[in-house]
Amino acid sequence: MIDQLFGSKTRVKLLNMFYANPNRSFYVREITRKIDEQINSVRRELANLLNIGIITSETTNNKLYYEVNQDYEYHKPLTTIFGGSHTSETQDEAKETMQADPLKALGNVELALLTGQFTRDERTGIDLLIVGNVNQTQVNKYISNLEKQEGKEIRYTVMTLDDFKYRHQIKDRFIANIFEAKIQIIVDKHKLLSIKD
């Protein structure tokens, strides 16, 4: 039904992907791989979404990246439709690695977020932060799977909740950079990122 409402299956898959990953940028080949659609239909729909203003584009290192336009006048209603907690097959496909479920195998993950090459913000020097009491072997397996899915090396940091809170309290530069960086939150059980000084 949503396919009919929005005109095309590819467009719906794109909207699911972008709104499920609000701070993440994607390039065309990555998008076609993630939503499993033909490159020509992806390019056509990206041009439509760009034209309407739903997404924005920017070139970095000779690659054209697309991400959701959070200043778009209908951003909130579209987030409700496509980025909400309801599930559909296409939304599950689009979320892929962003889902919290694979993190459950790691142990007690209090906070997990993407930044760096996922959001094109290199202030932190990492791509993934995991905070909690986790099993390092499971973390290694998770990172390995994520690297295979993404087709690139992932720089990551793991720390305990106490370490995160302490480093935030002493205004550690690394933690301060995380608070300032463009991030995508996967899990934040205790709203740690809303803690101000």
Range list for CATH 1.10.10.10 in the chain? 2-96
Which positions ≥6 away from 83 have C-beta within 8 Å?
19, 20, 22
What per-residue confidence (pLDDT) applies to 130? 95
100 is written with which tokens? 């919290």
**Residue 4 confidence (pLDDT):** 55
Q: What is the pLDDT of residue 108?
A: 92
DSSP H helical segments within 38-122, as ranges?
Answer: 39-52, 75-82, 89-95, 101-104
Query: What b/e sequence results for 128-142 when a residue is b if at least 16 CB atoms lie within 10 Å of its CB, and e otherwise?
Result: bbbbbebeeeebeeb
* pLDDT tens, per residue, the chain with 197 residues: 555 566 788 988 999 888 888 878 888 888 998 898 999 999 999 999 999 999 998 887 788 889 898 888 888 888 888 875 443 433 344 344 444 577 888 999 999 999 998 888 888 999 999 999 999 999 999 999 888 888 889 999 999 999 999 999 999 999 999 999 989 888 888 888 876 55
CATH number (1.20.1250.20, 3.10.180.10, 3.40.190.10, 1.10.10.10) of 2-96 reads 1.10.10.10
